[in-house]
Amino acid sequence: MRVIIVGAGVLGTMHAWQAVSRGHEVVHLEREAAARGASVRNFGLVWVSGRSAGPELDTALRARELWEEIGKQVPDLGFRASGSLTPVTTDRERAVAREALAAPEARLRDLHYLDPDQVREVNPALRGEMLGALWCRRDAQVEPRTAQRALQDTLARSGRYTLLTGREARELPRPGAVRDDHGDLHEGDHVVLCTGAQLGGLVRELAPDLPVRRVRLQMMQTEPLETTLTTSVADADSFRYYPAYRGPGLDTLNAHQPQPATARDHAMQLLMVQRADGSLTIGDTHEYEHPFSFDTDEAPYEHLTGVVEGLLGRPLPSIRRRWAGVYAQCTDPGTVVHRAPVADGAWLVTGPGGRGMTCSPAIAETTANDLGW
């Protein structure tokens, strides 16, 4: 087959990977000079620990397998089976961690509880005060700023992959065909639209009642930390955000240990990952109401700095850069991704939300299977 894929972020690139891996030819269109949306403005986490039991966890676990397989073929992805630690500092937070360990899916996530000495054995960089930590050995990470390019460079060597940048899809004039804003017609057997948070223009014309919303977040990156952060790190506010931790313990935590005002007002949790160059990617916030702010707010960065310094037991390295990003999320939280036909021979795949980097390999595999690639 010849497949036309629109959007060269991680979701579109993983669809290209599936098509080329199955022997097909791909023409890949990207409106920018390179993908610059949520696919590069994220942590690079392959995050199994917080996913809700059922389809979401199943998708994340399959994606984790695929990331590792692809990482062996594309070392420049920077795949690392690093696991994650979520330190707890109060008895109520520890109770939520204990409930997660008792859940039927704990074995699938490879969850364990560590006391403070064990935490420092697993990740010596965490020298702050804590009661222990929830350790998820299934979590992993890749390098988000370079992963798409590494995948695309490998695909190009197949001889069956063409990436055309600076091309915005404007029209689907007939089945399997896309006309871009240069007036060029790209014809194939299937069209897959993976346009991320770009939900206007052609996407709005094709799917005016799309059950997807846009979410804005803020993040930052430091100068290199002088020591190795051997795992990714979350704080206990992630219990409030991720569905895997819902239960009586979380209800008690929310009722009796409210978030600080800044964290509450910006729907915050801490996620922290060390990049290949030693720097730390730290976030994040969540903003749901449109129109989004055009500037970044300093208070969340100050809050995150305090949380990180408490866990590291040392000052945070100086900040190298700050940024905001927007991703597309299904309005039904139980839906992993919106995948639907929008024209004869064309499908729209969007809305994985903050799960996009984690789940994209498995989402693309399902699309490929459904379309008979």
pLDDT tens readout for residues 217-256: 999 999 999 999 999 999 999 999 999 999 999 999 999 9
CATH of the domain at 6: 3.50.50.60
Measured CA to CA, the distance from residue 26 to residue 159 in angstroms comes to: 10
Residue 307 within a domain: no
Is the pTM here over 0.95, yes or no? yes
Q: For 257-266, how does the pLDDT look when each residue is reduced to its tens digit (9 = 90+)?
A: 999 999 999 9
Q: What is the pLDDT of residue 290?
A: 87
User: What is the pLDDT confidence band of residue 133, given thresholds at 50, 70 and 90?
Assistant: very high
Q: 280 - beta bridge partners?
A: 274
Measured CA to CA, the distance from residue 315 to residue 337 in angstroms comes to: 39
User: What is the pLDDT confidence band of residue 170, given thresholds at 50, 70 and 90?
Assistant: very high
> Residues 131-158: what's their mean pLDDT?
97
Q: Are strands 271-274 and 280-283 parallel, antiparallel or unpaired?
A: antiparallel
Residue 87 within a domain: no
Residue 186 within a domain: yes
Residue 249 within a domain: no
Contact status, residue 161 vs residue 19, Cβ threshold 8 Å: no
Q: What is the pLDDT of residue 183?
A: 98
Q: Find the Cα–Cα–Cα–Cα dihedral 164, 169, 212, 356, rounded to 10°.
A: -10
Measured CA to CA, the distance from residue 301 to residue 294 in angstroms comes to: 16
Q: In terms of Cα–Cα distance, which of 88, 140, 176 is closest to 273?
A: 140
Task: List, as own/partner pairs, every contact residues 66-70 make where C-beta atoms lie below 8 angstroms and the sequence separation is at least 24, other chains included.
Answer: 66/361, 66/362, 66/365, 67/140, 67/142, 67/361, 68/140, 70/17, 70/151, 70/361
**pLDDT at position 295 over 90:** yes
Q: Are strands 45-46 and 140-141 parallel, antiparallel or unpaired?
A: antiparallel
**248: preceding bond cis by omega (within 30 degrees):** no
Q: What is the largest CA-CA distance in the chain?
A: 63
Containing structural domain, residue 37: 1-49+142-211+334-373
Give the pair of three-digit tokens for residue 340. Answer: 């639907």
Measured CA to CA, the distance from residue 246 to residue 100 in angstroms comes to: 9
Residue 34 within a domain: yes
Residue 147 within a domain: yes
Measured CA to CA, the distance from residue 66 to residue 49 in angstroms comes to: 17
> Residues 46-61: what's their mean pLDDT?
97
Residue 293 within a domain: no
Give the pair of three-digit tokens for residue 230. Answer: 């051997």
Residue 225 within a domain: no
When divided into structural domains, the chain yields a total of 1
Q: In terms of Cα–Cα distance, which of 12, 22, 62 is closest to 373?
A: 22
